[in-house]
Structure 1
């Protein structure tokens, strides 16, 4: 049944029998037959059918939730048995919010040093995409905000506190300042992350609380794009300290602390809540505890 549930999950994701079959590396008739067999075994219709895929039935949606849990447990069992045979190995898929990418090597480097047979795939994702990816078994873990928006039922471990900096060129009128306030930023030519990013929602909140309207002239989901616009000398940006300090290395840009208030938000590691955790996640959580800048779990 596990194979059939995996095909059902693939169909729910692809919403197309042909693409789901390709993802599962089987012929389309094989996948269609597996879904019908699963329906027969469970005694309910899972998929609305017509000339093409038309969505999941209400029963199908409930089965999808169970399928994620059952397939997740089966994968965890396979991982544990593989570790018993050959030590820790496999591929760890890690989703990371863009603003945390500068620190991800602080976690992955010691993890891979301890477990050289593991491969790590780091993917830049929004906080919502990380939660969705973990739920759908597309990600094993994520690095995201822990204290700003609901996380649901996950295991979490704090890594560091995020503070904020104004990023500008040395020629900017504010470049000589030791600090600036949130209230001073609204009227500047801003380039910011797009509104689907939680970092942007945090910045919007702090600027609004300081009485400023948020009207950036440039938006992007890429922090590299923001840095390039700042380096042109026509824009400034608001970025987390770790990221701004990285861009300011070498003196081509200035990273100025933002105060009144000196806002901070907690960033950490999250994974699907599972007891016991998979061997991969248990090893990752162990390393995360060692590198965490925040006391306690």
Structure 2
């Protein structure tokens, strides 16, 4: 039953029978047979289909909610039983907002010290993608913003508050300042994360409250690309303090604190809501 529910979730996630089968490592006929058997067991049609996937039926949409919960609980149950016998082992899948990647490395290293048999996959994703991946059971947890945009029904564990700095070359006009107001950045040639990133939306809010229209001459979904541009020319970028220190280490770049004009965004662990809590959310974060 659980295996067939996983097939159903994969089809709903991929919107395509071939891609769903590939993601599960099975053939498409095996997948189609499993879905048909699940429909027979439940007594309802779950998927509209002719020559191709046609979406979920109303019954399928309701079933998907239960399928995700049942499969998630089954995975957590298996992990709890393995842990009771062998200690915490297995593979933890994390999706992390780009500005929190240094924190993800520090936290996974700390977790590995306590549980050396764990393996980690850490992916860089937007906050919206993290919530979708959690919903589709593609990851075990995420590290994302906790209080700026709706999260839905999840378990959260705060880790740090994101405080912003300007990163510029040592010969830039603002490099020798101890602290800057957001209004001081008017007219600067900015490199910023792309608008689909929640970090960019937060930065835009800070500029708006300072009465400044930011001039983003370069946009990227990579903080490395932003800092590389700062090194190459008269650009500047805005990064959280920890990420700024990491990417500027060993360079001639300057980091200047920005005055806080609104509450610092809270960043932390986000995981599917489950009682009892899973070992991931109980870990040494």
TM-score (structure 2 length as normaliser): 0.96
**Counterpart contact for 1:171–1:233, Cα < 8 Å:** no
SS in 2 for 1:109: helix
* Pairwise CA distance, 1:22: 2.2
Where does residue 229 of structure 1 map in the other structure?
A: 229
Counterpart-to-counterpart distance in 2, 1:104 and 1:28:
36
Counterpart-to-counterpart distance in 2, 1:21 and 1:255:
48
Where does residue 30 of structure 1 map in the other structure?
A: 30
Where does residue 44 of structure 1 map in the other structure?
A: 44
* Pairwise CA distance, 1:167: 0.6
User: Superposed, which structure 2 residues align to 1:5-16 within 5 Å?
Assistant: 5-16=5-16
Where does residue 269 of structure 2 map in the other structure?
A: 269
Aligned pair 1:3/2:11, yes or no? Answer: no
Where does residue 80 of structure 2 map in the other structure?
A: 80
Pick the aligned partner of 2:284 from 278, 284, 287: 287
Where does residue 238 of structure 1 map in the other structure?
A: 238
User: Superposed, which structure 2 residues align to 1:138-149 within 5 Å?
Assistant: 138-149=138-149
**Counterpart contact for 1:164–1:262, Cα < 8 Å:** no
Instruction: Classify 1:83/1:126 alpha carbon distance in 2 versus 1 (closer, same or farther; 3 Å).
Output: same
User: Superposed, which structure 2 residues align to 1:138-217 within 5 Å?
Assistant: 138-217=138-217
* Pairwise CA distance, 1:260: 5.7
Where does residue 295 of structure 1 map in the other structure?
A: none
TM-score (structure 1 length as normaliser): 0.92
Single out whichever of 84-93 and 164-173 deviates more from structure 2.
84-93
Please tell me the root mean square deviation across aligned C-alpha atoms, in Å. 1.4
**Counterpart contact for 1:9–1:64, Cα < 8 Å:** yes
* Pairwise CA distance, 1:58: 1.6
Instruction: Classify 1:262/1:61 alpha carbon distance in 2 versus 1 (closer, same or farther; 3 Å).
Output: closer
* Pairwise CA distance, 1:12: 1.1
**Counterpart contact for 1:159–1:269, Cα < 8 Å:** yes
Counterpart-to-counterpart distance in 1, 2:39 and 2:283:
41
Counterpart-to-counterpart distance in 1, 2:218 and 2:119:
36
Counterpart-to-counterpart distance in 1, 2:65 and 2:83:
27
* Pairwise CA distance, 1:263: 5.2
Instruction: Classify 1:286/1:19 alpha carbon distance in 2 versus 1 (closer, same or farther; 3 Å).
Output: closer
What are the ranges of 5 or more consecutive residues in structure 2 without an aligned counterpart? none
What are the ranges of 5 or more consecutive residues in structure 1 without an aligned counterpart? 289-297
SS in 2 for 1:26: coil
